[in-house]
A and B are shown apart, each in its own frame.
Chain A
């Protein structure tokens, strides 16, 4: 299995977030917990299901990541754009808030 993280949108403001090792939700993909095996992903999905039920997040789903300098980075275009912000407005989104380094 490729490395996985779990992303979602926070219910109250819709901001893209990632599940952290502490079971919280961070606005930075670099804080994401990385699952290396199916058991670990199952445990993360259970936490995400609870957070969905508790109305903390919506649309939680696992995404493919790889490690760059020890930090998780999404591999798919869409997830990279989620993690950084619009490629056509570098002044907006995570990339502008220094939550994601520029692509």
Chain B
């Protein structure tokens, strides 16, 4: 993984000192809240319902055991001994004091972490495939380019006061695990006919009040021109994006209003001009320097399988089930990708205690190559490089820490935003709905029978819980002081990304749990065979039978 050199280290420390000064000037009244707010947001600090919330970046989701231990330390020392992993490869602490924030950031800097640009109307933490460097289907590690983008976008002089926030995601595999089509810019690494590496560039995806799937602006941008192309897009957006209405300020609205052809023309013209100016594109030396940090770790030469692992799988049903749902094939023989579910039955999605963070760090140190850990868009964790022979030990240690729930990609693996329990913007609670659905599907055998099912819950239209792209999406709204929930079906965030459709009238907090159950039962009754996933059945038969079972034949 990437390691800071003297320049990165200096910059992150200087940024902490700068923010320490800004906090002092806020506390002594030199800065008004209006002036301070964009500054604290660009350092990841929100003011929420109960206290300040600090969002710490895990750039492109990659971190290690030492960094995880620091997160546990931050939770214990400055917060309430837990953290919350988000859908964008960040971790949030919910009970932070303004007066402690500079000390926290200083502690984070000692392990090469920061909260820079995790909020604000700037370029946010760039996200990537959590299986990067390990996935069987990958042709180039997207983290190289996510790190290139991290550096280019940090403290960018032109793009720190954009019309609205700006999110970029990168994948290096045809199976999209980074949800690139619902980002402001989505990048997919590909090769052209001449065998050169470059990017398909998609823009204008996003969720929120007006969800859009991104449109392709360029089929192929050569890799060495990526930054100038991004700079051209950002300049067009900075100049033309709407600033009169915060709900219409994202680039997706500009693309929608102006049209992708006109945006493409403007971007290409800007890019042509930029090519003749001081180039923001990296020289090969710097690209190679960054790429070197993402070389494959020192894998051992191993057999395709391991007898101890196979024996345990044969003997132990729970282990077998956990392997089936949480362990993914690795490109290197004898290794596996291990998913750690942060969705225990009835638990709070994405929450992890300080002791659990330490346990994951210990397991990563003992069994994961280079002690590497990943944070996923599904609010889970990944150990990307684990030997098959170590899987029984990893499983036992995870189980001892309460982290061996075998439900990755299943009904219990629910995404939920913090909702009204924590968030100032929320209209309804999301976590209790996730907990009740998780309890309803507590029987893992039933979950295995149902198979892949992505349930996503947001507590307001900002859609941090990604309900638009859930196979089953739930949106909490406030109806005359009562929490009320809309149901959508058919959304997906993968390479066939789609926005879900609202089924019809919404449901009460209790009713929505039954409604989800109802939808699942409809699927089970309609699927051709157990291999046909929920989303496939829905796309084959359409929404009508689901609506009929929810509302009765007439309403549908």
Direct contact, A vs B (beta carbon within 8 Å): yes
A interface residues with partner B (beta carbon < 8 Å): 9, 11-16, 52-55, 58-59, 75-78, 81-82, 85-89, 92-93
Q: Please, how many angstroms separate the alpha-carbon atoms of A12 and B52 in the complex?
A: 10
Q: Select from chain A the residue with minimum beta-carbon distance to B430.
A: A88
A79 vs B47: C-alpha distance when bound (angstroms): 15
A55 touches B97 (CB 8 A): no
Inter-chain contact A14/B96, CB cutoff 8 Å: yes
Per CB-CB distance, the 7 closest pairs between chain A and chain B, nearest first, are A14-B52, A13-B97, A14-B51, A86-B421, A88-B431, A55-B29, A82-B49
Asked if A77 and B481 make an inter-chain contact with CB atoms under 8 angstroms apart, the answer reads: yes
A-B contact pairs, 8 of them (CB 8 A): A9-B47, A11-B98, A53-B29, A55-B29, A59-B33, A77-B481, A81-B421, A88-B429
CB-contacts of B71-124 with A (<8 A): 80, 95-99
Task: Kindly state whether residue B50 has any CB partner on chain A within 8 Å.
Answer: yes
Which B residues touch A15, using CB under 8 A?
Answer: 50-51
Q: Which residues of B contact A89 (CB under 8 A)?
A: 348, 421
Contact of B98 with A14 in the complex, beta carbons under 8 Å:
yes
Please, how many residues of chain B have a CB less than 8 angstroms from a CB on the other chain? 30
Report A-chain residues with C-beta under 8 Å of the C-beta of B432: 87-88
Which chain B residue lies CB-closest to A54? B29
List the A side residues contacting B483 at CB < 8 Å: 77
What residues on A are CB-neighbors of B29 within 8 Å? Answer: 53-55
Residues of A within 8 A of B49 (CB): 16, 78, 81-82
B298: interface (CB < 8 Å): no
Query: In the assembled complex, which residues on chain A have CB atoms less than 8 Å from the CB atom of B555?
Result: none
B421 touches A55 (CB 8 A): no
Residues in A with CB closer than 8 Å to B80 are 92
Chain A residue nearest to B37 (CB atoms) is: A58
B278 interface residue, CB < 8 Å from A? no
- Is B420 in the interface zone, CB < 8 Å from A? yes
Judging by beta carbons under 8 Å apart, are A9 and B51 in contact? yes
B228 contacts partner chain A, Cβ-Cβ < 8 Å = no
List 9 other contacts, CB 8 Å, given A82-B49, A86-B50, A87-B421.
Answer: A11-B26, A12-B99, A13-B98, A14-B98, A53-B29, A54-B29, A55-B28, A81-B421, A88-B421
- The smallest C-beta distance from A63 to any residue of chain B, in angstroms, reads 12
